[in-house]
Amino acid sequence: MNQDQLNRYRNNIISYVKCYPVKRNIVNLNTHNSVEHEQIKFRICYELKKQGIHFVTEAKMHDGKKGIADILILDKGEVIEICVSETLDEVKEKVVKYPSMLEIVAVKDWNEYFSGNYKLIREKEM
């Protein structure tokens, strides 16, 4: 994918987010989450930014179901849900609020994502 195609893809993915314009590559904190949850979110975003991958945190989905993704990766059309205080079943219930075109993965620690040791909750529909 060339840079122009990647930018179009990112803009398509960000169109699923309700509040626009959205600040990309900024870590938004949510004080309703635990400090551990927020630290994991920060570390994942830090690594993504080092790799030049665009993301949005605390992304409110546009479909009106009040789904808020921990991290939406614009380059991949993927949501990362951090499971520190939530069970996998709770996350599975939560992700029905996200557009079906997004892949959903769950992690308990930042390195699970980068090592590929995450739980695939839902594959994206094409």
Structure tokens at 72: 């939406």
Cα Rg of the chain (Å, integer): 13
Q: Which fold has domain 3-122?
A: tt1808, chain A (3.90.1570)
Domain-by-domain residue ranges, the chain?
Answer: 3-122
Cα 116 from Cα 94, distance rounded (Å):
22
Identify which of 66, 59, 68 has the alpha carbon closest to the alpha carbon of residue 10. 59
Per residue of the chain (126 residues), what is the pLDDT tens digit?
899 999 999 999 988 887 767 889 999 999 999 999 999 999 999 999 999 999 999 998 876 567 889 999 999 999 999 999 888 898 888 888 888 899 999 999 999 999 999 999 999 886
pLDDT at 2: 94
